[in-house]
Amino acid sequence: MVISKPVPSSTHPLEIMKSAQARSPAGQTQQFRQPGRHQTGRTASGHHFPGNGELDISGNTLIQGPSLSAANGTGILHSSGVNLKIANSEIYQWSTGYWFRGTGSQKNCCAGVFISNLVMSQDEICIHLDSGNATFPELVYFTMSGGVLTCKYGIIDDNKPGWLADLAITGVVFTPGVGISTGAGTGIYLQQASRFAITGNVFDGGPTLGNNGIIIGQGASDGIIQGNVFNKGTIAAPISNSSVSVRVLDNPGYNPVGGSTVAVGPSPWTYTAGPSPETLYELGGTITSIMTSGVSVPIGSQNLGPFESVTITYTSVPNVSRVIH
């Protein structure tokens, strides 16, 4: 599935903060703790953190754009750093709420991002994981645990290989499609991420119908999507997975997928399951053997894990069907 997604505002960000330390030497921690309301300029980013030190944004900080407009820029922009923490905060009314964007020829951004209990609303993009390049990963070790993202696009990456790795998203409520522009949105859109887990989240389209839950591009790899819950009444496409190594298991509102017949190829014929567990059934014909993982298995039905294969040898073509769990 291909969807159009907006480009975050490139408006020049503020280089200073109105409160706390704007920069810190490498190896030191920037602490930005500001309870209550914090409203910033209309076109620049709310806060730009360009330093290489650690950063802690917490304490019920409210980073608010002036209005619901695409011209509002970015609430928080990270150019580089390690051990970046944001907790118990609210960011809303920005074109992009939280933008990770590397700088320089290598495009390195951040190592170690820890987000918890974050509320983001009325943003076109809640969290944007920006482009690196194929040689240097821009963002590694990204975790988000808990929060509510009510934006047109919840978490998206750019379609650049080899730059986003080691990602975990759990316990977040996504309400895609609620943003600046009209039309369907997407909760999580990962095109090139590797080694990731998306588990235990809830997706509800809210008042906007026809939204996408999770879209995984074919460049993504070594991931698992498990135990997420989708409101089928408002999420038109709960999961769209184009990867051949991302597993999809036990997601109410998506799993079980259902049953269908399978076209049988010439003997010996190898069938490979998709990203979800399946049961394969054979009826009729004359089957001489069924092999999986180098061993012979009984004829009639086989339970297959994600991407598991069986090879069926026959002299008369059987009828084959499958149930995707």
What are the structure tokens assigned to 147, written together? Answer: 């929060």
pLDDT for residue 281 is more than 70? yes
Is the confidence at residue 134, as pLDDT, over 60?
no
Third-level CATH fold of 258-324: Jelly Rolls (2.60.120)
Q: Is the pLDDT of residue 190 over 90?
A: yes
DSSP bridge partners of 226: 199, 249
Closest CA relative to residue 81, chosen from 20, 142, 8, 126: 142
Task: Give CA–CA dist 132/101, Å, rounded.
Answer: 8
- What pLDDT does residue 133 have? 52
- CA–CA dist 53, 76 (Å, integer): 16
User: Which pair of structure tokens corresponds to residue 40?
Assistant: 């910033």
| Tens digit of each residue's pLDDT (9 = 90 or more) over 222-256 | 999 999 999 988 898 999 999 999 999 999 999 99
Phi and psi for 321 in degrees, rounded to 5? -135, 170
Q: What six digits make up the tokens of 179? A: 């943003």
Could you tell me the pLDDT band of residue 152, with boundaries at 50, 70 and 90?
confident
pLDDT of residue 61: 65
Q: Is the dihedral of CA 296, 299, 303, 308 positive or negative?
A: positive
Q: Strand 319-324 and strand 258-262: pairing? A: antiparallel
Write out pLDDT tens, residues 62-107.
677 655 555 557 777 776 667 788 888 888 777 888 887 765 555 5
pLDDT of residue 189 exceeding 90: yes
pTM: 0.84
Give the domain ranges of the chain: 29-249, 258-324
Better pLDDT: 78 or 120: 120
Burial annotation 15-39 (CB, 10 A radius, 16+ → b, else e): eebeeeebebeeeeebbbebeeebe
- pLDDT band, very low/low/confident/very high, at 207 (cuts 50, 70, 90): low
Tokens of 194: 């590797």
Distance of alpha carbon 242 from its chain centroid, rounded?
13
Residue 303 CB partners (closer than 8 Å, separation 6+) = 277, 278, 279
CA atoms within 13 A on the CB side of 300: 1
Share of the chain above pLDDT 90, in %: 44
Residue in the block written with tokens 């190592």: 111
User: Position of tokens 């290989």?
Assistant: 161
3-state helix, strand, coil in the chain (%, to 5): 0, 55, 45
pLDDT > 80? residue 40: no
Do residues 269 and 311 make contact, with C-beta atoms less than 8 angstroms apart?
Answer: yes
What is the model's pLDDT at position 317? 97
Per-residue confidence at 283, pLDDT binned at 50, 70, 90? very high
Query: For residues 287 and 139, what is the distance between their CA atoms, to the nearest angstrom?
Result: 51
Assign 72 to helix, strand or coil: helix
CB atoms within 10 A of CB 154: 33
